Amino acid sequence: MRYVSFIHRDGAGYGVSFPDFPGCVSVGDTVDEAVRHGCEALAFHVEGLVADGARIPPPRSIDAIKADAELADWRQGADFVLIPLLLDRGSSRRVNISLDRGLLEAIDDEARERRMTRSAFLASAARHEIEGT
């Protein structure tokens, strides 16, 4: 699930805010850093809402955000970026996947080189891929 964020130039850096989560903000020296920090801020904010028993709003589309007249001033001059919500649930789940044998060997070699388990490597690679798109 991805949420719309506003990226504003803020002096020497960039500010990130979420129209679906007022008060959830982050910053970064570059756009890439701001987005990365925005991913972390969004997850932290939502984890707090969940802990408080609050309702998590479904993500609105960019078109819905643009049509919301109450956001006109807030989105003025902003770039729109979809930021994924990745929550750490604190527990692992066993899954069965199929991979090409050559790819699996490359994964195992790389995981071993990094002193990681196959599962940890695949989880890290998936998180990196989701956050980077």
Which pLDDT tens digit goes with each residue over 89-119?
A: 777 888 898 999 999 999 999 899 989 899 8
Stated pTM of the model: 0.76
Residue that the structure tokens 């479904």 belong to: 58
The pLDDT confidence band at residue 10, using thresholds 50, 70 and 90, is confident
CA-to-CA distance for 27 and 55, rounded, in angstroms?
25
63 to each of 1, 39, 66, 67, 85, how far by Cα in Å? 16, 21, 5, 6, 19
Contact 6, 19 (CB under 8 A): yes
Amino acid at 83: I
At residue 133, the pLDDT reads 56
pLDDT in tens, 51-76: 999 999 999 999 999 999 999 999 88
Contacts of 97 by beta carbon, 8 Å cutoff, 6+ apart: none
Burial of 42 (0-12, 13-18, 19+ CB in 10 A): buried
